Structure 1
Amino acid sequence: MSRPLVVVLVVVLVAAVESWAAEPILDQESYHRYFIAWKTEFLRKGDGSLEPIDDKGKGPAPVVASELPPANWAAVDFDDSSWARHRGPLKAASSRMALICLRARFEVRDPATAGELQVSASFTAGAILYVNGKELARVGLPAGQVALDAEAEDLPKEAYLDPEGNLYRIGWGDERKFAERLRARLRAFEAVTIPPALLRKGVNIVALEVHRAPASELLLTVKPLRWREEAWRGRDYYWWPRLGFESLRLTASGGGVAPNVARPKGLQVWNQALLDRPLGSDWGDPTEPLRPLRFAGPRNAVLSQALCVGCPGALKGLKVSAEAPLPKAAVEVAYAQPDGDVPGSFGSLVEGPPAEVPAGKDGAVQPVWVRLRVPAEAKPGDYTGKLTIACEGTEPIVLPIELKVHEWTMPSPKDFTAHVGLVQSPDTLALHYGVEMWSDAHWRLIERSFQLLGEVGNKVVFIPAIRRTHFGNEHGMVRWVKAAGGYRHDFSVAEKYLDIAIRHQGKPQVVCLYCWEPYTGGKYLDHKAKGGGKGMCFTVLDPQTGKLEEAEGPRWGEAAVREFWRPVMDGFRDLLAKRGLEQAMMIGLAGDTRPTKEAGEDLLAAAPKARWVVHSHATADALWGMPVGYLCDVWGAPQAPDPPRRLYGWQNPFLRATFPRAGSNTVGSMHPNAPLAMWYLSLEAMQAAGIHGFGRVGADFWPVIPGPENRKKTILGRYPESGWGQLSMTESAPWTLAPGKDGALPTLRFEMVRAAQQQAEARIFIEKALTDPAKRAKLGDELAARAQKLLDDRVRALNYARSRGWDYFLSSGWQAREEALYAAAAEVAKRTAP
């Protein structure tokens, strides 16, 4: 980069009034591309030195950092297509965010009539302003060469302390109360004139390089005002990131520059990053080229790309068709529906295009999802196809499809290693579609849900034996039939349900007979509790009429209870044995409330070879002498350690997953409106943390019960006696599929689970080679070291994303890392082949 034309050491106040009165070319509504780098935080000590510190403010700490952008990142011809696309302010989510590089485009159509161009920007903490790769101004940074990972100049004490000398508190209203004083955290460029010599006809780039300021020692030496709150909130109470982008504005006094502040006229098609949730207010930057849809992955994989179509008015007659890049490859086109969990977003994916996409206040937008199923027998290499986008009143747009096949074969979903525990809800389907339970129409709906669950390698099946569980089932799938001397048992519904699941999912790891609920007797996290509870609710079937009746069985500890349950357990075990699933037999469902001694011992006597399923905040390995076979926990859920310490979920003999609600450290709270990147990273993060995956997440528990304010709610916990409080599945994601016209539909986050499974499988394949001495020898030192570094780098990236760094991850080159993972799997496969 050249020497700066202007050095701004303070806020420049030149022609501000004229700048804001001129034609806006870029503003807060304009799109930009950004890149975020992170680095160990630094503290400015009292002697003026900088010390690296850890998350508790203690130092010196090891200095660890992510990759920086290339030196030419601000140049006009730099390819920023892998950077994240964004509008508006960009706040650092963590003090470890150290650098924001931002690029915004504008078009000079006629330099002679462009007039005077002026740029203004505000940010925290120090920045350099570039135009077409040439430095124009700087503030908060020293003159001369500045490294990309350098710290900005210190912020004044007013940025840390209120007028009474107290640290500002986060979340206590100080941001509003001291808004004017807190402007000390901002620096700015005001109406900096761009010399005409820096401009060129066509696309131009305004770039901003924002550096973090070091932490002031005031954060450690000044006692927080409300120290009692500080004691339990820790540094999140007052410690704030000293990096952020606030605003950018470009104006022109002449007419030779095209404004880039709103949706342009006419039809637009633009590339959409898979991890960037599309919104109805989105539009394409007209200065960005439409790039080919590029797929890269192994044989037998399902790869995805996305694009958006938009215009100011209604979209009519939209049709997207594909020419596959190689024989037997299936290219599937799906259209996102405006039913996302984030306001104004899209969620479900349908196969047919809408007849019309109506225009809202921001115009019309239709995201298009393109899946490419790579044949298992495909030869490695590069292939091309095309995608045609046609819309009423416009000429078709033809977009190239590029496919690179790597020489490794993805296992079928039935053989995936990582654990996905999505729970299917037959009762929800019946209520949503208004069909009779267990009718032919109902079974078709169940089949559709399991068909989709099979595509992501789902590994659990829950069979409610009792009524009114937390899953909201009115009746059990096991029915008691009156017979001489007592009851016999009808397993026909359970058998058919299980067979459908097996047909699509393969043999499950867990088939749980749901036969215990806290209302039958238990106490919070106390397996020594005794007594209490009521008899379990069960269903009586009249085989002549098909009528179902409600009944209440014996209580735990009563003389009849073991004989009541023993034939059920025996019948269930036989049912599983016929399908080779004896080892999958488990009973449940225990949570924070654990069964009483009587319940535990009675169930152990009735099913001595079974194991418990526990979905809990805390961990558990056994309940009353019966081992826990499947645990989904919250509080103790681990996170992947920073290499070189490494864990391997697939090596763990205990089937442990996380219930990914708030409090789970493995990847975070996988709620419906969580970042798509969280779902994308989930399974690899869990495997790298030493556990198998996630569970207690809903597949299709859609809102079907009338609730307050005309809002519907799910059937989870609809019976008061079986509400699970903060362990309700509503605390994470009750549904991963969406209701369609004829059954469940995939959603964007469902597609993220598919991508997560495939990446986890590639990782596990490489790890197995690296940890097997014979295979490791075949790899050789160079490939083994390179493959291990690739895996370690992925752990560091996902760990930083997990620590509130989702904005970082979107700009971090995740696309290239995904392809590199598959390329490495291919190399490992070739070296270790028999």
Structure 2
Amino acid sequence: MKNTLLIIGLSLLAFGCRPAEGTLFSWGNTDVRYEQDECPEALTQQAFRYSAWKGEKMFAQAVFYAVEDMKNVQLQVEDLVADEGVIPAAAVKAQFVKYVWADDFIEGYRQCGKRIRHEQDSLLVADMVDIAPETDVAAGNCQPVWVTVDVPSDTPAGIYSGELKIKGTGLWSMTLPLQLQVVDEILPEPEDWKFHLDLWQNPYSVARFHGVELWSQEHFDYMRPVMQLLADAGQKVITATIMNRPWNGQTEDPYGSMVTKTKKENGEWEYGYEVFDKWVEFMMSLGIDKQINCYSLIPWSLEFDYLDAATGKMETMKAEPGSLDYKLYWGTFISDFAAHLREKGWFDKTCIAMDERPAEAMKAAFETILSADPEFKVSLAGNWHPEIEEDLYDYCVAFRHPMPEDVLQKRQSQGKVSTYYTCCAERYPNIFTVSPLAEAVWISWHALAKDYDGYLRWAYNHWTADPMKDTRFRTWTAGDCYCIYPEGRSCLRFDRLVEGIQDYEKAVILRERWMAEGNQQKLDALDEALKAFDYKTITDEGAERAVHAAKAVINN
């Protein structure tokens, strides 16, 4: 099999006068979060290689260490040039990694529960990939640099060479050579990836952070770069809310309802879908258009609001799932909602979605949905419940509550979606601010090993009060609430998650090819590598060894 090798040389060149003795600029390791106030040790001192395909994003990390104060430090990348063509500098990004506040893990595997800052260690962690063109670096500080090569799909095969430069006031230009070998393997566009990624979005956080009116043009303008990163990661699901505060106020920015419910003076109901339609159309314009998950019929409080036309006031009623009031409130809405979705052409891709609730409550909700419209799809993220599996089109189970293999195979044959999730209940694998970076890659390999269609996580951008500086939150481990920063700033853990999804896609393509070719040696090697992606192995060894071994199979 032909491979694409990203070959980055590690020689260090200085232009002009020599930098101060001890100043360092070298390639590092993408599995490492470098400490801010320490000179990195044991950096790679020889060329290292990545497997890359056309259409793939490749990530690398360089490290700059200053022995004197450096001002206005800037990065510069060039075109990557080969005899066969050019990869433009616009496809090669070099960005400064910024440090944010985090708290460390609490004792034990489960990480849910109130955080009291003075009782936990707080630390600065390299995470945010900044969009600022320059930065200052204090004496004795380490400044990581995150490099992304977005290989164009039409790149001719060949060996492409260029340079990464760093310069600034008081700093003569220092250079790292970069070389990329491209051959004929093509990764599909993200919207065509098979991996079912479901990271829950929170548009309300964006409006609060930027101080703009909800659903205004300014609001959508600020959301565009944030949600575009998600689309570029292959996201399949739009997170929508059909009631107010489905999860109470557990996040800094509680969800509102994207639909309005009005009880008219004659007792009939009227519904408004203007916000829902604008949100869905916006997300679809970015390429996120496979599924719409609408939350939720079973909120934590079991309180349901509506506008009373007779008084002009918002009213709230409390109703247990299965009660007459519950059935009337939701049954009437679901029938009207289904008609609206059919008119928009969205019905077949829409699910009424819930997360884990008591089994009897979920059964009552299913009955209400299917009584109103038996063709409506239902989604659940929760533990394994064999008694309700048949009712679920989209079923996402907890990491340590796996779905039986025979059920997975049956669901795949039925065209249903079967995924898994992690949250604060799992110390690992996860994408907390302090999680080892290889775990973000491990997540998708686990999906492949266990035959899941993909992965769900509850929080893409539930930003904290000061998300650019402090990822700590009052209830969960730092970073549990979000894995992306405002204005389209990515982070190390999100990019490594994308890397793992790309690995999943490559492995699926290669496995199908090897099966068609009868290449049993390759198939056996892949199967053997996948055995390491389980709870016991990650507990005993961590994520790095399994990830590197699996990558070796698909990259050789």
Q: TM-score range by the shorter chain?
A: 0.7 to 0.9
Q: Which amino acid aligns with 1:818?
A: K
Distance 1:769-1:652 versus aligned 2 partners, 3 A rule: farther
Structure 2: state its 5+ residue gaps.
Answer: 1-6, 9-19, 105-122
Name the CA distance, whole Å, in 2 between partners of 1:554 and 1:288. Answer: 61
Name the CA distance, whole Å, in 2 between partners of 1:822 and 1:320. Answer: 30
Q: Does 1:818 align with 2:528?
A: no
Name the CA distance, whole Å, in 1 between partners of 2:67 and 2:489. Answer: 29
Name the CA distance, whole Å, in 1 between partners of 2:64 and 2:413. Answer: 45
Structure 1 residue 600: deviation in Å? 3.8
Matches within 5 A, 1:671-750: 671-704=432-465, 713=473, 733-738=480-485, 740=486, 743-750=487-494
- The correspondence for 1:371, drawn from 148, 159, 165, is 148
In 2, are the aligned partners of 1:292 and 1:399 still within 8 Å (CA)?
no
Report the counterpart of residue 276 of structure 1 in structure 2. 32
Q: Which amino acid aligns with 1:477?
A: M
Q: Does 1:312 align with 2:41?
A: no
Q: Does 1:617 align with 2:399?
A: no
1:286-326 Cα distance to aligned partner (Å, 9 max, x none):
x9676668654111111111101111232212111111214
Q: Does 1:787 align with 2:522?
A: yes
Name the CA distance, whole Å, in 1 between partners of 2:43 and 2:329. Answer: 70
Distance 1:813-1:505 versus aligned 2 partners, 3 A rule: closer
Distance 1:808-1:417 versus aligned 2 partners, 3 A rule: closer
Matches within 5 A, 1:144-543: 265-285=21-41, 296-326=51-81, 327-329=86-88, 330-339=91-100, 341=102, 343-359=123-139, 363-470=140-247, 472=249, 473=254, 475-481=256-262, 483=264, 485=266, 486-520=268-302, 536-540=303-307
In 2, are the aligned partners of 1:466 and 1:475 still within 8 Å (CA)?
yes
SS of corresponding position for 1:769 = helix
Name the CA distance, whole Å, in 1 between partners of 2:160 and 2:271. Answer: 57
Q: Which amino acid aligns with 1:281?
A: D
Matched-pair identity in %: 18
Q: Which amino acid aligns with 1:602?
A: T
Distance 1:662-1:466 versus aligned 2 partners, 3 A rule: closer
Matches within 5 A, 1:623-634: 626-627=391-392, 629-634=394-399
Name the CA distance, whole Å, in 2 between partners of 1:688 and 1:509. Answer: 24
In 1, are the aligned partners of 2:308 and 2:315 still within 8 Å (CA)?
no
SS of corresponding position for 1:438 = coil
Distance 1:401-1:296 versus aligned 2 partners, 3 A rule: farther
Distance 1:785-1:711 versus aligned 2 partners, 3 A rule: closer
Structure 1 residue 613: deviation in Å? 2.3
SS of corresponding position for 1:766 = helix
Report the counterpart of residue 756 of structure 1 in structure 2. 500
SS of corresponding position for 1:348 = strand
Report the counterpart of residue 7 of structure 1 in structure 2. none
In 1, are the aligned partners of 2:167 and 2:174 still within 8 Å (CA)?
yes
Matches within 5 A, 1:559-578: 559=324, 561-577=326-342
Out of 367-376 and 788-797, give the one that drifted further.
Answer: 788-797
Distance 1:384-1:805 versus aligned 2 partners, 3 A rule: same
Structure 1 residue 351: deviation in Å? 2.2
* TM-score with structure 2 setting the length: 0.79
Q: Which amino acid aligns with 1:660?
A: T
In 2, are the aligned partners of 1:296 and 1:403 still within 8 Å (CA)?
no
Name the CA distance, whole Å, in 1 between partners of 2:72 and 2:478. Answer: 40
Name the CA distance, whole Å, in 2 between partners of 1:499 and 1:639. Answer: 36
Report the counterpart of residue 766 of structure 1 in structure 2. 510
Report the counterpart of residue 13 of structure 2 in structure 1. none
Distance 1:295-1:616 versus aligned 2 partners, 3 A rule: closer
Q: Does 1:655 align with 2:454?
A: no
Distance 1:277-1:284 versus aligned 2 partners, 3 A rule: closer
Name the CA distance, whole Å, in 1 between partners of 2:184 and 2:159. Answer: 12
In 2, are the aligned partners of 1:537 and 1:553 still within 8 Å (CA)?
yes
1:513-537 Cα distance to aligned partner (Å, 9 max, x none):
42322433xxxxxxxxxxxxxxx42
In 2, are the aligned partners of 1:475 and 1:538 still within 8 Å (CA)?
no
Name the CA distance, whole Å, in 1 between partners of 2:62 and 2:289. Answer: 36
Name the CA distance, whole Å, in 2 between partners of 1:649 and 1:275. Answer: 35
Report the counterpart of residue 218 of structure 1 in structure 2. none
SS of corresponding position for 2:183 = strand
Cα RMSD over matched residues? 3.7
Name the CA distance, whole Å, in 2 between partners of 1:440 and 1:308. Answer: 39
Report the counterpart of residue 368 of structure 2 in structure 1. 602
* TM-score with structure 1 setting the length: 0.54
Name the CA distance, whole Å, in 1 between partners of 2:495 and 2:484. Answer: 10
1:69-112 Cα distance to aligned partner (Å, 9 max, x none):
xxxxxxxxxxxx99xxxxxxxxxxxxxxxxxxxxxxxxxxxxxx
Name the CA distance, whole Å, in 1 between partners of 2:269 and 2:547. Answer: 62
Name the CA distance, whole Å, in 2 between partners of 1:445 and 1:573. Answer: 31
Structure 1 residue 482: deviation in Å? 5.3
